Chains A and B, each alone.
Chain A
Amino acid sequence: EAGVAQSPRYKIIEKRQSVAFWCNPISGHATLYWYQQILGQGPKLLIQFQNNGVVDDSQLPKDRFSAERLKGVDSTLKIQPAKLEDSAVYLCASSLVDEQYFGPGTRLTVT
């Protein structure tokens, strides 16, 4: 079974630029999550989708972060404009019931 796919794997941008990350969950998984993992810390949930609807976005900085999952499958996470403190690994995960399966993440460096 193919795992969660993410791209790009690495991205370097300057502050105030925009960036987008893409996630393809495991086939059939209705729930999709985006996490932010700052170096040395555990992942922190940014947003959770159930099919194409948002279940929880309470920790998403909505002034600069946005996410969508238009057809209930793939998802994109966007940051506009980026700040230095956004440097982190952005992880996508999906689940069928409870267990979450994580992708390899996108490492973002903001200079």
Chain B
Amino acid sequence: GESVGLHLPTLSVQEGDNSIINCAYSNSASDYFIWYKQESGKGPQFIIDIRSNMDKRQGQRVTVLLNKTVKHLSLQIAATQPGDSAVYFCAEIKGGKLIFGQGTELSVKP
């Protein structure tokens, strides 16, 4: 079965606010984790990844935090914009295989 899952199926935020999307995983042997963004009618798009030996990684307006103690992963989006509306998936790389969890749909209110 899947070993990666998300806490909430939907998240609604006001434009300009920060968004936090959470993910719990059960396999502590995973090599690294990736966050994907999937817009309607498109394939998943890589956002940011983090290796299992790191606890934080920052990109442009996005930060991923990894807490190995509680097996928790989060994606923080700063100053959320309407273009950020999409479904977000966390995924793990295990044995060279990409395993997706269920997504969280982010809606941005103007």
Interface of B is mostly: strand
A26 CB to closest chain B CB, in angstroms? 12
Complex CA gap A93/B42 in Å reads: 12
Tally of chain B residues near chain A (CB < 8 A): 18
Cross-chain contact of B43 among A41, A44, A99, A103 (Cβ < 8 A) = A103
A77-108 residues at the B interface, CB under 8 angstroms: 91, 93, 98-105
B102 near A104 (CB under 8 angstroms)?
Answer: no
Q: Does B97 contact A (CB under 8 A)?
A: yes
- Chain B residues with CB under 8 Å of A99's CB are 46
- Chain A residues with CB under 8 Å of B46's CB are 99-101
A56 near B43 (CB under 8 angstroms)?
Answer: no
Select the residue from B46, B93, B97, B99 with max chain A CB neighbours within 10 A: B97
A105 near B43 (CB under 8 angstroms)?
Answer: yes
**Chain B residues within CB distance 8 Å of chain A:** 2, 4, 41-46, 89, 91, 93, 97-103
A–B complex contacts, Cβ < 8 Å, 12 sampled = A40-B102, A40-B103, A41-B103, A42-B91, A42-B102, A42-B103, A43-B44, A43-B100, A45-B97, A45-B98, A101-B46, A105-B43
Kindly list the 3 A-B residue pairs having the minimum CB-CB distance in the complex, ordered from nearest: A42-B100, A102-B43, A42-B89
